[in-house]
Amino acid sequence: MTRLAKGTVIGLIAGYYDVETDEGLIRTRARGVFRQKKQKPAVGDHVEIQIDDQGTSYLVKIFPRMNRIGRPAVANVSHVLLVISAVQPDFSLQLLDRFLTFFAWQKVAVTLYLSKADLLKNSAKLEQIKQDLAYYQKIGYPVYFDAETLAKELNQKIGKDQIWTLAGQSGAGKSTLLNKLKKDANQETGQISMVLNRGKHTTRKVQLFKLGKGFLADTPGFSSIDLTPIKLDQLKNYFLEFKKASAHCKFRGCLHLKEPKCEVKRLLAESEIIQSRYDDYLAMRNEIEEGRIPEYLK
């Protein structure tokens, strides 16, 4: 006799999957059939497992995913915590726009966190960055300037069963923030970790840890992105303020290039849309047309 159980993969350790189910945490292996089909269950996947009388279990089914992003991959990511540094590496609007476009395309909501503001205390440079970020706040992205406030509010922000992950340029401060959030959540001695650490050779690879009413992926997140698979005529939809404005463009399907009576161009002329956003839109169009990441970004 075998029975089935449903759950979410919350950990991936040396070929084993830890699945959180109604009957508790079950460590299981994936059926060989996935390998034949070149499918690989990822942390965050909603899955079905088969359990026999001896308690041996197999992961037998992956339910359709919302998305699968990052390396190591996390599935069904609904929110990203995007870490951008004020310095080291230098703050870059261009890079910020690339990340935001990528996540809008992946249907992932983004919260911004500015790291290393302490290294620029009271400088004109920091004021400029804050002014830039105020624009992003205005178009709909929440922005945080200190880790304490972020940590406190994340507990409320992470909704039921939501999966969040970190992203940001290499060196931006993702691991530093992650460690802080984990410490605040008192995860290092958490119950799940103890169960999982029983085995001697279990090197943890990827794990979701509980935060708020959902999870945050315990991975460094990812730092490089490829925009070239985006469809050229869809790109405009991933600039939130362009999308909103486009309802008032004369032409449906306006690409905000040379079309007459374009609302995006009007707002740009009035500085309601910042020039760097529009320039980055054009640069990304080029990149998609060329089908490769430009040299200067490699």
Binding residues, by number, are: 115-118, 168-176, 249, 254, 256, 262
Q: What is the DSSP string of 91-158?
A: P-HHHHHHHHHHHHHTT-EEEEEEE-GGGGTT-HHHHHHHHHHHHHHHTT--EES-HHHHHHHHHHHS
- The answer to whether 36 and 77 have CB atoms below 8 angstroms apart is no
Residue of 264, 268, 273, 288 that binds Zn ion (CB under 5 A): 264
Task: Look at the block and give the residue holding tokens 């079950």.
Answer: 26
**In angstroms, what CA-CA distances link 121 with 85, 174, 227?**
13, 20, 34
Annotated binding site for Zn(2+): 249, 254, 256, 262
Annotated binding site for GTP: 115-118, 168-176
Among Zn ion, ligand GTP, none, the one that 72 touches (CB under a kind-dependent 5 to 8 A) is none
Tokens (6 digits) for 63: 């339910």
Q: C-beta of 192: minimal distance to ligand GTP in Å?
A: 23
Query: Which segment (52-60, 208-216, 227-235, 258-266) binds Zn ion by CB under 5 A?
Result: 258-266
Judged by CB, which is closer to ligand GTP: 89, or 142? Answer: 89
Which chain residues interact with ligand GTP by CB under 6 A? 115-116, 118-119, 168, 170-176, 220, 223
Q: Is 262 in the site for Zn ion (CB under 5 A)?
A: yes
Closest CA to 221 of 77, 115, 96: 77
Q: Is 249 in the site for Zn ion (CB under 5 A)?
A: yes
Judged by CB, which is closer to ligand GTP: 187, or 223? Answer: 223
Judged by CB, which is closer to ligand GTP: 116, or 277? Answer: 116
**3-class secondary-structure state, position 275:** helix
CA–CA dist 188, 210 (Å, integer): 11
CA–CA dist 73, 277 (Å, integer): 29
Q: C-beta of 259: minimal distance to Zn ion in Å?
A: 6
Among ligand GTP, Zn ion, none, the one that 116 touches (CB under a kind-dependent 5 to 8 A) is ligand GTP
Judged by CB, which is closer to Zn ion: 216, or 249? Answer: 249
Task: Look at the block and give the residue holding tokens 């992926």.
Answer: 217
Sorted by sequence, the CB contacts under 8 Å of residue 92 that are 6+ apart come out as none
Q: Is 93 in the site for Zn ion (CB under 5 A)?
A: no
Count, residues near Zn ion per rule CB under 5 A: 5
Tokens (6 digits) for 159: 């909704």
Among Zn ion, ligand GTP, none, the one that 119 touches (CB under a kind-dependent 5 to 8 A) is ligand GTP
Binding site for Zn ion (CB under 5 A): 249, 254, 256, 262, 264
